[in-house]
Amino acid sequence: MTARIGVVTFPGSLDDRDAQRAVRLAGAEPVALWHRDKDLHQVDAVVLPGGFSYGDYLRCGAISRFSPVMDTIIEQAKAGLPVLGICNGFQVLTESHLLPGAMLRNESLHFVCRDQKLRVENAATAWTTDYTVGQEISVPLKNGEGRFTADARTIDELEAEGRVAFRYLDVNPNGSINDIAGITNAAGNVVGLMPHPEHAVEPLVGTGRTDGLGFFTSILKQLVSS
Ligand SMILES: NC(=O)CC[C@H](N)C(=O)O
């Protein structure tokens, strides 16, 4: 049976279609989930896409976190549902407390848009098994509020438990603590990162690199084998 991966659309989501396309290219079936809908339509995993949900008012992701769909996602993620938050989706995950920490405005106070090199630090999460630890990948990055921060104890815990999943290489584009680009929860089913793997899945576009496809093939393998 084909794995079904839900992609949530909030008002202001921008990258939901690209996320659906990445899911399809990996070989899974994308399922559109609407923010007002509590029902997840029996999907096997969920992607929270990038964008500007609720116009980034208050803080990015702060309003989306209270969407009906998030009530169900929070409950099911705690029970093991794989969830990937990309950029604005990562912001929603920290606002939802499915992942620790918070996002501040970029240190430069400017919106940053670039191809970003990353180092894979954890290849054991539900979304990263098709990578290897130490692998260097390049995917687009585009955000204004991407500076990951947390209290010292949380950072120590993330580092000690190997829960920093991705780190910025060459350039730290936003001033994130310890060059953190993405993290995972302790169980490894919830992963969030600021750069956009769904924009690097086809050789015909962008830099021609497909370094982001591994997120979607990783989850597919995990779903098929479970
Ligand atoms: N690309 C995005 O998802 C943008 C995220 C968010 N709105 C920001 O600017 O930080």
- Contact assessment for residue 217 and residue 26, using Cβ atoms and an 8 Å cutoff: yes
Residues with catalytic roles: 87, 196, 198
How many residues does this entry show for the chain? 226
Q: What is the pLDDT of residue 208?
A: 85
Q: What is the pLDDT of residue 117?
A: 97
Nearest CA to ligand 1 atom 7: 52
Q: What is the pLDDT of residue 9?
A: 98
Question: Nearest Cα to 174, choosing from 98, 60, 97, 64?
Answer: 60
What pLDDT, in 10s, does the model give residues 11-25?
Answer: 999 999 999 999 999
Q: Could you tell me if the CB of 195 is within 6 A of ligand 1?
A: no
- Contact assessment for residue 53 and residue 37, using Cβ atoms and an 8 Å cutoff: no
Question: How far, in Å, from the CA of 180 to the mean position of ligand 1?
Answer: 16
ipTM: 0.94
pLDDT lower than 70: segments of the chain? none
Q: Could you tell me if the CB of 173 is within 6 A of ligand 1?
A: no
Eight-class DSSP state of 28:
P
Task: Sketch out the chain's domains with CATH numbers.
Answer: 4-225 (3.40.50.880)
Predicted TM-score (pTM) above 0.95: yes
